[in-house]
Amino acid sequence: MKKISLVHLAHARSGDKGDTANVGVIAYDPLNYGLLKERLTPEAVKAHFGSMVAGEVERFELPNLGALNFLLHGALGGGGTMSLMNDAQGKVFSTALLRMEIEVPDDVAAAAEGRGRVPEGWTPGASG
Amino acid sequence: MPSDEQMVRVASGQGFWGDDLEAPVRQVEGGPVDYLMLDYLAEVTMSIMQKQRARDPQAGYARDFVDLMERIFVRCIEGGIRVVTNAGGVNPEGCAAALVDAGRRAGVAGRAKVGLVTGDDLVDRLEELIDAGHELANMETGEPLSSVVDQVQSANAYIGAAPIVEALRAGADVIVTGRSTDTALTYGPLMHELGWSEDDHDLVAAGVVAGHINECGAQCTGGNCLIDWWTIPDMAAVGFPIIEMSPDGSFVVTKHPGSGGRVTRASVTEQIVYEMGDPTTYITPDVVADFTTIELEDLGDDRVRVHGVKGGPRTDFLKVSIAYSAGWKATGTLTYGWPDAAAKARAADRILRERLDRLGLAFDEIRTELVGWDSTHGPLVGEPPPNLPEVQLRVGVRSADRDGVERFTREIAPLVLTGPPSVTGFAGGRPRVQEIMAYWPALIRREAVESELRVEVRDV
pLDDT at B5: 66
> Could you tell me the pLDDT band of residue B3, with boundaries at 50, 70 and 90?
low
Residue B292 sits at the chain A interface (C-beta within 8 Å) = yes
Contact B232, B212 (CB under 8 A): no
Cα gap B8→B138, rounded to integer Å: 39
Cα gap B454→B450, rounded to integer Å: 9
Cα gap B195→B359, rounded to integer Å: 67
The 10s digit of each residue's pLDDT in B137-174 is 999 899 999 999 999 999 999 999 999 999 999 999 99
Smallest CA–CA distance from B275 into chain A, residue: A15
pLDDT at B260: 98
Cα gap B449→B156, rounded to integer Å: 10
Which amino acid appears at position B120 of this protein?
A: D
Contact B247, B194 (CB under 8 A): yes
The 10s digit of each residue's pLDDT in B302-356 is 999 999 999 999 999 999 999 999 999 999 999 999 999 999 999 999 999 999 9
pLDDT tops 60 at residue A125 = yes
Pairing of strands B35-38, B8-14: parallel
pLDDT tops 70 at residue B108 = yes
Smallest CA–CA distance from B434 into chain A, residue: A81
The 10s digit of each residue's pLDDT in B133-146 is 999 999 989 999 99
Domain of A103 in residue numbering reads as 2-112
pLDDT at A127: 52
pLDDT tops 60 at residue A128 = no
Mutate to test the interface with A, among B44, B234, B275 (most CBs of A within 10 A): B275
Whole-model pTM: value is 0.96
What does the DSSP 8-state code read for residue B395?
A: E
pLDDT at B429: 84
CB contact under 8 A, B376 and A22: no
Pairing of strands B303-307, B310-312: unpaired
Side-chain-side CA neighbours of residue A112 (13 Å)? 25
pLDDT tops 50 at residue B401 = yes
Chain B closest-CA separation from residue A27 CA (Å) = 10
pLDDT at B44: 77
Smallest CA–CA distance from A78 into chain B, residue: B438
b/e for B351-366, b at 16 or more Cβ within 10 A?
bbbebbeeeebebbeb
In whole numbers, what is the pLDDT of chain B averaged over residues? 96
The 10s digit of each residue's pLDDT in A48-86 is 999 999 999 999 999 999 999 999 999 999 988 899 999
What percentage of chain B reaches a pLDDT higher than 70?
Answer: 99
pLDDT at B427: 78
Mutate to test the interface with B, among A13, A49, A70, A118 (most CBs of B within 10 A): A13
What's the CATH number for B325-439? 3.30.70.1150
| Within a domain: A92 | yes
CA distances from B176 to B74, B104, B212 (A): 17, 17, 19
Q: How many CB atoms lie within 10 A of CB B173?
A: 22
CB contact under 8 A, A81 and B276: no
pLDDT tops 70 at residue B97 = yes
> Span B433-439, mean pLDDT?
92
In this complex, the residue of A12, A62, A127 whose CB is nearest that of residue B292 is A62
b/e for B198-215, b at 16 or more Cβ within 10 A?
bebbbbbbbbbbbbbbbb
Tell me the chain B residues in contact with residue A128 when contact means C-beta distances shorter than 8 Å.
231-235, 260
pLDDT at B1: 45
CB contact under 8 A, B276 and A24: yes
Q: Which of A6, A31, A40, A2 is nearest to A117 (CA)?
A: A6
> Span A18-47, mean pLDDT?
97
At residue A33, φ and ψ (nearest 5 deg) are -60, -45
b/e for B373-404, b at 16 or more Cβ within 10 A?
bbbbbbebeeebeeebebbbbbbbbbbeeeeb
pLDDT at B2: 46
Q: Which of B401, B412, B334 is nearest to B365 (CA)?
A: B401
Mutate to test the interface with B, among A61, A82, A100 (most CBs of B within 10 A): A82
pLDDT tops 50 at residue A7 = yes
Give strand ranges (E) for B237-349: 242-245, 251-254, 282-283, 288-290, 295-300, 303-307, 310-312, 317-337
> Span B285-294, mean pLDDT?
98
Q: Which of B356, B388, B439, B431 is nearest to B138 (CA)?
A: B439
Q: Which residues contact B71 (CB under 8 A, 6 or more apart)?
A: B25, B106
Q: Which helix (H) or strand (E) holds B77?
A: helix B63-79
Cα gap B324→B439, rounded to integer Å: 7
In whole numbers, what is the pLDDT of chain A averaged over residues? 95
- Tell me the domain boundaries of chain B: 8-120+158-315, 325-439
| Within a domain: A120 | no
pLDDT at B48: 87
pLDDT tops 70 at residue B4 = no
CB contact under 8 A, B376 and A77: no
pLDDT at B367: 98
Contact B153, B438 (CB under 8 A): no
Domain count, chain A: 1
Cα gap A37→A52, rounded to integer Å: 22
pLDDT at B428: 79
